[in-house]
Structure 1
Amino acid sequence: MLCFVFFWYLFAQNWDREPDRFLEQSFQWLMKATLQDPREVLLTSMPALAGQDTPEEMESPARVMSSWVTGLVGVDLSPKGILMAQIPLLAEISPPAAPVVTVTSRDSEKIGDLSAKPNLSKDTLVGIYNTHTGESYAFNGGTERVEGGRGGVVGVAREVQEVLEQEFAIRVSLSDKIHDKQYATSYLESEKTVQELVEQNPKLMALIDIHRDAGRSREASLVEVNGKKTASILIIIGSDARSPFPEWRKNYQFACRLAEKMDEMYPGLCLGVRVKDGRYNQFLHERAILVEVGTTNNSLEEAKASGAMFAKALAQVIEEDLKETKPTTSSDKEIPGGLIEPETPSEAKENQGKTVAAPLKSL
C-alpha cells in the first residue's frame, strides 16, 4: 500500500512536467528491482507461484509495484513478456517438446539385479575387522598408512565379505571401525569390537583380523599362484607366552586347517602359520586368527585378489564343518621349530604392563 501511495505521489508531481522521462525512470527502477533476485522474474511471470513463498518474500515491494503496473497499463514486465512485446513473432513460436524417456524391461531387470541379494545363511558365521585400520598398500601410487582413517586393508576386508556372501551365501558381520587413531592402543580398542562381534553373533565359525605386513621387498611380497603374481598371505596366531591364554591351540588348529586348504586350492598363496607370543585378542574366540594380506610393497589390487582366494578357502572349511555331524576332535598339531617367535618392538611396547607367563621352551 505504501508503495502505491509513493508511486502515485511521484506520478502527480512529475506527470505534467516530463511524462516520458517519468515513465522511463519508473520502468528502469522496476526492472532493476525485479532482476536483482532471479526468483522475482519467475514470480512476476507466474503469480501462482507466490503461494510457495516464505513469509519474508511475500511482501516484496518490487513484486507489488510490478504487479500494479502490469495491471494498470497491461504491460508484462517479465523478460519474456518484454521480448514478446517487442518481437511479436516470438509469441507464435512454441518451445520444443521435452523428450520422453522410458525405462525398458531390460533396464528394469538390471535395476532389479543390483538390489537383489543372495539367500544368506540365517546366522552370521564370519566376523571381520581391522585392528590397524589405517594400514594400506604403497605400490602403484598408494600409501603405506592412512593416519586416522581407513586404509587398503578395509578394502581387502570388504572383498572377503563380498566373496563369502555373494558366492557362498555365508553371512558376514564386518566392522570398519577405526581402532588405530592412537597406534599404541590399537588392540585395546579392537578388543571392544571383538567382544561386540562375539556377543552379537554367537554362531561365529571364524573371526578374522585383517592386516598387511611390512619390511619385505617387492620381490618378497609377491607369490605366484596359477602363473600369476599376487600378494602373499601369512596367518598369525597368538599364544600364552606372555599372558594367560589356555585355549590358544584351538586357534592354531583352525589356522592350520585353513592354511592347508589354501595350499590345496591355491598352491603358493599362503606362507604358513606363524605363532607369536602376543594374544592379539584371539583369547576371545577359539577360531580367531590374524591374517597378513600382502605387504606395503603390494598394490591394493594384488591384495584384493589374494583376499578373494583366501575367502574361497575359508568358505570351503566352513562348509566342510557344517556338513559334519559332530565337532572336530583332531589332535594338537606340532608347531614347526617348536618355538614361539618373539614379538616385534611395536608389539612388545603394546604389551607392556600385561601379565607375563613363564616362557614356553617347547610345545
Structure 2
Amino acid sequence: MRHRYRGFATLNMSGPRERQSFVLLILGTALVFIFTGAFAMLEAERSAHSSDLGRFTAHLSADTLLWAMGREIPYLATMRDKQDDGRMSRLFFELATSIDPKDPRTFIGRELPGFSLFDTEIVVAGQGVKYTDVPIESEPSPDLAKELERQSEKVKNSIPSDRVDKPSPSPSVKRVFIYQTHFSESYLPELGRQDPDMAYDWDKNVIMVGKRLGEELDRLGIGAEVSTAHYKEAHPKLYRSSRKTVLAAMHQNQDLQYFIDIHRDSQRRDKTTTTIDGKPYARISFVIGTAHEDWEKNLKLARQLHNKLESLYPGLSKGVFLKNRATGNGEYNQSLSPRSILVEIGGVDNNFVEVFRTTKALARAFADLYFQTEPVDARPSAPSSSR
C-alpha cells in the first residue's frame, strides 16, 4: 500500500499481498541464478577441451605465451629472456589484435585473400615442403557449380545421397570405409581443361580414386567399403552431407575401423608431383582437424602413414598438416572415429596414371601398418612399388 509523506512515496510491506510478492521475487531471482549457474557448469564441462585452449593461445606468440606461463611456473621463466619491459602490454596487444609483431604474416594475412591458409600447422614436413606447399581447398567456379547442380537434378532419382556399396566378394569383413566429401574434385588433364577453377566433374573425379584404393586394399586382404555418393548440397555444406554417409556406414557395419576421406589438392603440378624410380607420382598429404577433443588420435595414424610412406617411397608424402576452424573445416568428420583421416592425393595438374600409382603406394603403406596391429593368420605378399 502506497502513502505520500512530505512529497515522497512510501511502500507499506506489512500487508500480506506485498509480503507474498516480495518473497516470490526473491525466490524467482534465486532460481534464475541457480539455473544460470548450472547451465554454465554443464557447458564448461562439455566444451572446455584442450582444443579450446589451443584456439585461445594460438593468437599468442611463443615468446609471449612463455612469459605469461612463466609467471606461474618458475621453471618456464628460466627458458625465456629476463627482459620483462612491455610484456604485459604486448600480451594485451596480441590478444586484442591476433598480431605477432615478430611475424609479418600476421600483419598481412588478413588483408590478402587466401593468405590465412598458410597459418596451417605443419606437424611433419615431407621432403622440400614449406608453407607455400600447404594443401589448399578451393571451390568450383560459380558457372561450373551451377552446371554441377543441374547435373545433380538430372540424376537425383537414380543416384541416392547416401553411400553405394562397391561389390566385392572378398574379403567378407570390411574394416575400411572410404568416401569422398568433395566428390566432384577432378584433374585437369583428364578433363581437357586448363583453368584450375574448372577441375571438377560429376563423373570423372576422386570417386574413381576411392574405388581404386578400395580395390588395392581388397587385393591386399583388407576389406574396404567405398562410397560413391554424389551430394546435391552446396560446396560449403558437403561435410554435413558426408557426415550422414559415415554415420550410416558405421550403423550398418560395426566392423568398420578406419575412415578415409579422399580429396584432391588445389596446388599446381610443381608442388604435387614427384619422381620415384623414374616414374611420376602424385604427392600425398594428410590433413587432420583439431576442432574436437580426440584429434591427437587421428594425428597418430596420419604420422604413422607418413612415416611408412617415407620409408617405402621417399618424397611421396608432403607431410601431416593440422587445420582448425580458422584455416579450414576444422573437424572434417574426424570426431566420429579415432582412426579417421583426410587424404589429399595429387593436385589439379596430375592425371589418373600418377594418382593411381600413388593410391597403390598408399594401400601398401596402410597394409604394412594394419598387419602390424591386427592379428591375422596369414599375410599376403607385399606388392611391387609400381603398377
Distance 2:309 2:200 in 1: 30
Aligned equivalent of 2:248, options 186, 191, 196: 196
CA distances 1:114-159 after superposition (whole Å, capped 9, x unpaired): xx97741x42110000000000000255454445x24421111111
Aligned position for 2:163: none
Tell me if structure 1 keeps the 8 A contact 2:233–2:241. Answer: no
Aligned position for 1:152: 205
Distance 1:314 1:191 in 2: 23
1:136 paired with 2:186, answer yes
1:280 paired with 2:280, answer no
Distance 2:373 2:232 in 1: 34
Tell me if structure 1 keeps the 8 A contact 2:187–2:200. Answer: no
Aligned position for 1:232: 283
Distance 2:294 2:189 in 1: 38
CA distances 1:249-281 after superposition (whole Å, capped 9, x unpaired): 000001101111111111111111101011001
Distance 1:142 1:281 in 2: 33
% identical aligned pairs: 33
Task: Give the AA of the match of 1:288.
Answer: S
Distance 1:165 1:271 in 2: 26
Distance 2:181 2:337 in 1: 16
Distance change >3 Å, CA 141–CA 188, structure 1 → 2: closer
Shift of the alpha carbon at 1:184? Answer: 1.7
Tell me if structure 1 keeps the 8 A contact 2:187–2:350. Answer: yes
1:260 paired with 2:307, answer yes
Shift of the alpha carbon at 1:246? Answer: 1.1
Tell me if structure 2 keeps the 8 A contact 1:233–1:271. Answer: yes
Distance 1:131 1:223 in 2: 26
Distance 1:118 1:206 in 2: 20
Distance change >3 Å, CA 150–CA 190, structure 1 → 2: farther
Distance 2:287 2:224 in 1: 21
Distance change >3 Å, CA 252–CA 142, structure 1 → 2: farther
Task: Give the AA of the match of 2:345.
Answer: V
Distance change >3 Å, CA 323–CA 294, structure 1 → 2: same
Tell me if structure 2 keeps the 8 A contact 1:236–1:291. Answer: yes
Aligned position for 1:103: none
1:314 match: secondary structure: helix
Distance 2:261 2:369 in 1: 17
CA distances 1:232-261 after superposition (whole Å, capped 9, x unpaired): 000000002xxxx11110000011011111
1:126 match: secondary structure: strand
Distance change >3 Å, CA 180–CA 316, structure 1 → 2: farther
Distance 2:295 2:265 in 1: 22
1:131 match: secondary structure: coil
Distance 1:117 1:218 in 2: 34
1:271 paired with 2:318, answer yes
Distance 1:165 1:229 in 2: 25
Aligned position for 1:217: 268
Tell me, which stretches of 5 or more residues in structure 1 are unaligned? 1-115, 325-363
1:126 paired with 2:176, answer yes
Shift of the alpha carbon at 1:301? Answer: 1.7
Distance 1:292 1:180 in 2: 22
Aligned equivalent of 1:208, options 252, 257, 260: 260
Aligned position for 2:361: 309
Distance 1:173 1:254 in 2: 19
Aligned position for 1:296: 348
**TM-score w.r.t. structure 2 length?**
0.49
Distance 1:165 1:222 in 2: 26
CA distances 1:74-123 after superposition (whole Å, capped 9, x unpaired): xxxxxxxxxxxxxxxxxxxxxxxxxxxxxxxxxxxxxxxxxx97741x42
Shift of the alpha carbon at 1:323? Answer: 3.3
Tell me, which stretches of 5 or more residues in structure 2 are unaligned? 1-166, 325-329, 377-387
Distance 1:140 1:129 in 2: 21
Tell me if structure 2 keeps the 8 A contact 1:136–1:142. Answer: no
Moved over 3 A (4+): 116-119, 140-147
Distance 1:125 1:307 in 2: 18
Residue-pair matches, total: 201
Tell me if structure 2 keeps the 8 A contact 1:123–1:201. Answer: no
1:213 match: secondary structure: coil
Distance 2:240 2:225 in 1: 20
CA distances 1:183-237 after superposition (whole Å, capped 9, x unpaired): 12110100100111222222323210000000x2322221122332110000000
